[in-house]
Structure 1
Amino acid sequence: MASNSRKSVLFVCLGNICRSPIAEAVFQKMATENGVGDDWIIDSGAVSDWNTGSTPDSRALACLRNHVTETDHRARQVTKGDFETFDYILCMDESNLRDLKRKANAVKNCKAKIELLGSYDPQKQLIINDPYYGSDKDFEVVYDQCLRCCKAFLENNS
């Protein structure tokens, strides 16, 4: 869970096995390489409970390995406590955003700023599409978007 001494970000998608674990791993590596890894609490989660406890999709893991990026994440559903403790909750598409804002409305002490990760994209690609039913190329597109967005997000919050 997030604490007051460190900044915190939670990346969210539908099932927490494709987009959000890629974003989490990309941001963790980027923060570490920039010497600020210890300044951040970084996690990812799902709006659904479909994949709770599962490892990321094998294509997501292969994509991350191709970019020398590792993760040991297990899928989890976003909790009420996440809204109370995380500084930022960054999601992948408008459906995620609607679901998160609806859930946040039920949280008395919501402190999280809930946004689309794509709102940080210098190429203005607001939505990070779900690659689950796509090809390896679609996972590469997600990786590239996450890389651009996470870089801009980190720069804005350093």
Structure 2
Amino acid sequence: MTAPKKSVLFICLGNICRSPISEALFIDLLEKKGERDSWKVDSAAIINMHVGQNPDSRTMKTLQKNGITSYSHKCRQIKTPDFSDFDYIIGMDDENMSDLEGLKPKNCKAKLLMFGDYDTDGSKTYVDDPYYSSDIKAFQDVYDKVSRCCEGLYDSVAM
């Protein structure tokens, strides 16, 4: 008998920066640990502004610069079934968490978690939104933080 897949959904405002980076890095971590087939991993937005689009070009450049070259994603908005289809729904900041609390149905199965709480260096609990930065370094900063958060989350929920 096979164990059921664990599942995680990463959420940010538009699903073009932080949550796709998180999805890509968590998938990469699972592949390195030989556990990709044991997990369902996805990302989504709070708002519907970018639905059907690719992630921000700076997101993709940052992933590629760091060796993640096979990731592809079309932005989507969170849906009510996600709250029962995923074990964990991960928000990036207080606004995401507040929005998720407001959206969750009464029969919510998923645990809503703040991603920054899993940062292995113990820094602030939110993941900054790099979208409005004119410096691509902001995307690398998010990548670095999310990389640590992925390790912390994995260590916390994988067993």
Question: What TM-score does the superposition give when structure 1 sets the normalisation length?
Answer: 0.94
Task: Return the offset for 1:113.
Answer: 0.4
C-alpha distance after superposition, 1:110-145 (max 9, x if no partner): 101001110101222211010001121000010001
Aligned to 1:46: 45
Aligned to 2:100: 100
Q: How many residues align?
A: 153
Aligned to 2:154: 154
Runs ≥4 in structure 1, deviation > 6 angstroms?
Answer: none
Helix, strand or coil for the counterpart of 1:115?
Answer: strand
Alpha-carbon RMSD: 1.0
C-alpha distance after superposition, 1:44-73 (max 9, x if no partner): 000000000010000000000011113211
Task: Return the offset for 1:108.
Answer: 3.1
Gaps of 5+ in 1: none
Aligned to 1:121: 119
Aligned to 1:56: 55
Equivalences for 1:27-42 in 2 at 5 Å?
27-42=26-41
Structure 1 range deviating more: 51-60 or 65-74 = 65-74
Task: Return the offset for 1:157.
Answer: 1.9
Helix, strand or coil for the counterpart of 1:8?
Answer: strand
Aligned to 2:109: 111
Q: Which amino acid aligns with 2:125?
A: L
Gaps of 5+ in 2: none
- Percent identical across equivalent pairs? 42
C-alpha distance after superposition, 1:45-102 (max 9, x if no partner): 0000000001000000000001111321110000000001100000111000000011
